[in-house]
Amino acid sequence: MLLTHDIEFTLNGVKKRLTIDVTMNALDLLRDVVGLTGTKYGCGEGECGACTIRVDGETRNSCLMFAVDFDGRDIVTIEGLAADPKADALRESFVEHGAVQCGFCTPGMVMQASHILETHPDADAETIKRGLEGNLCRCTGYKKIVDAVESACCGAK
Amino acid sequence: MTAIERYAAPQSLDEALGILQQGEVTILAGGTDLMPQTKAGRIAFKPTLLNIGRVAGLKGVSLDGAYLRIGALTTISELLRDPLVVQHAPVLAEACDQFASDQIRNAGTLGGNINNASPAGDTLVPLIVLDAEVELASKPNGSVTTRRLPLAEFFTGPGRTKRAANELLTAVRIPLPRPGHVARFYKFGTRPALDISTISIGIAGIKRDGALTDIRVAFGAVAPTPVRAPRTEAALEGRPLDAEAIEAAADAARDEVNPIDDVRASAWYRKELIHNMTRRMLDHVAHA
């Protein structure tokens, strides 16, 4: 028998109220309960960053987070970022640089990259690489991703 | 798996300790260790899940007399950029910089890293050489009592500590550095991020006239717990930090660790790493 708990949080700017199993993880809540499948299930243990979301402004792995911890917090997923004009240049830069292949890691990459741009507006390639160290990509070899972020960072090249 | 019968997210330490006192509690802080451990079945939930994330006063860094006091819920990211930590315990900030990834540093807490008691826990070795102590609170007879324990004596095995089931780790205290204090941390992994240490080394002491005194050497991932290295310390204590003393200390270090073979490295390789990197770190200290 599962124990449930009521939580209230803001998801991409909209207030949500849900009753959930206390052991549910945040990623399952996003994908299976509220149907936001932009956030990806990759490794399930915090190694790959495909499930990156923002919690009160800081990036976290949603696979390592208990959904009950959403209570009272401000959550932003890749769907929320899609509505954010500040992220437009970054998305366009990913496209321009071909920093996307299969696309599976892309939501997590964009979430973390947007965080890097906000915290380090003048980030160089090294800062970007350090910032993305928790995000794995099995297709692109990273160079195009780093180029895309660097270009968005310093303005259009 | 035991079914969870109760979930609590108290806002006061008093209330949290009251729940702990009733027994059979799983404590949730950042969740970055607990989530994968429970999911993989390595640990089972107890009937009460206690989320301490909202307990007031367990977060943040402050000066407390002659100590730097770090609340147990302070995240690794917060430690990394905290001006008091950077000023008084830079070696801890350095270790935090090599800790997992940004996403995990934003969630993982210092208290969680300590209580997880991994022999390779990244903050443990620097904290041990800084003479850190843990503060444990409990409410055995209706009122809150606190005890302190040197971190070097806190660990009893992988995942095991001297924390009693009714106790909560509330803070870590580090004595403020004295004049001449030096400290270094080194972690070997196959890549900087998200790799569990193959070995880690912490060295601290007071450097005066080319010699170290009050030396602390600690190693991670070479034993069931992070360990102090008394023979290495003795080989160095008070001697001029010349090539001969450094070589003697590096030899002592290799001889006194007793690592295992595992997926990250063989025991032989770990011993050689300990030897070579202890020597290199002492060279750096000598020439700094």
Q: Across the strands, what pairs with B146?
A: B137
Across residues B257-268, what is the average pLDDT? 89
Backbone CA torsion sign across A126, A128, A133, A137: negative
Residue with tokens 């969870």: B4
Residue-wise pLDDT for B65-111, tens only, equals 999 999 999 999 999 999 999 999 999 999 999 999 999 999 999 99
Q: Please check whether residue B3 touches A, CB under 8 A.
A: yes
Whether B157 contacts B165, CB under 8 Å = no
SS3 string, B20-65, reads HHCCCEEEECCCCCHHHHHHCCCCCCCCEEEEHHHCCCCCCEEEEC
Q: What percent of chain B has pLDDT over 70?
A: 98
Closest chain A residue to B98, measured at CA: A130
Residues of B with CB below 8 A from A61's CB? 32, 103-104, 107
Q: Quote the pLDDT of residue B195.
A: 76
H/E element, B271: helix B267-287
Q: Tell me, what's the ipTM?
A: 0.95
Q: What percent of chain B has pLDDT over 90?
A: 88
Helix (H, G, I), strand (E, B) or coil at B228: strand
Q: Indicate the pLDDT class of residue B264, thresholds 50, 70 and 90.
A: confident
Q: Which two tokens stand for residue A140?
A: 């692109």
By Cβ distance, the residue of A55, A59, A66 closest to B102 is: A59
Q: Quote the pLDDT of residue A156.
A: 43
Q: Quote the pLDDT of residue A155.
A: 55
Q: Quote the pLDDT of residue B111.
A: 98
Q: Quote the pLDDT of residue B1.
A: 53
B98 burial type by CB count under 10 A (0-12 exposed, 13-18 middle, 19+ buried)? middle
Which portions of chain A are predicted below pLDDT 70?
A: 1, 154-157
Q: Quote the pLDDT of residue A157.
A: 41
Q: Indicate the pLDDT class of residue B6, thresholds 50, 70 and 90.
A: very high
This model's pTM is above 0.90: yes
Q: Which two tokens stand for residue B102?
A: 């940004």
Q: Please check whether residue B2 touches A, CB under 8 A.
A: no
The shortest C-alpha distance from B211 to chain A (Å) reads 36
Q: Is the CB of B192 less than 8 angstroms away from the CB of A133?
A: yes
Q: Quote the pLDDT of residue B2.
A: 63
Q: Is the CB of A134 less than 8 angstroms away from the CB of B39?
A: no
Helix (H, G, I), strand (E, B) or coil at A59: strand
Whether A132 contacts A112, CB under 8 Å = yes
Q: Is the CB of A134 less than 8 angstroms away from the CB of B104?
A: yes
Residues B200 and B218: their CA atoms lie apart, in Å, by 8
The shortest C-alpha distance from A34 to chain B (Å) reads 21
From A139, A138, A119, select the one nearest A149 (Cα to Cα).
A119
Q: Indicate the pLDDT class of residue B193, thresholds 50, 70 and 90.
A: low
Q: Which two tokens stand for residue A146?
A: 């780093």
Q: Indicate the pLDDT class of residue B3, thresholds 50, 70 and 90.
A: confident
Q: Indicate the pLDDT class of residue B192, thresholds 50, 70 and 90.
A: low
Closest chain A residue to B46, measured at CA: A23
Tell me which residues of chain B, numbers 227 to 286, contact chain A at a CB-CB cutoff of 8 Å: none
DSSP state at residue B102:
H
Strand-pair category, A58-61 with A14-21: unpaired
Q: Quote the pLDDT of residue B227.
A: 95
Residues B210 and B227: their CA atoms lie apart, in Å, by 26
By Cβ distance, the residue of B49, B51, B107 closest to A64 is: B107
Whether B8 contacts B48, CB under 8 Å = yes
Q: Please check whether residue A118 touches B, CB under 8 A.
A: no
Residue with tokens 């270090």: B253
From B209, B186, B182, select the one nearest B197 (Cα to Cα).
B186
Residue-wise pLDDT for B118-175, tens only, equals 998 999 999 999 999 999 999 999 999 999 999 999 999 999 999 999 999 999 999 9
Q: Quote the pLDDT of residue B190.
A: 73
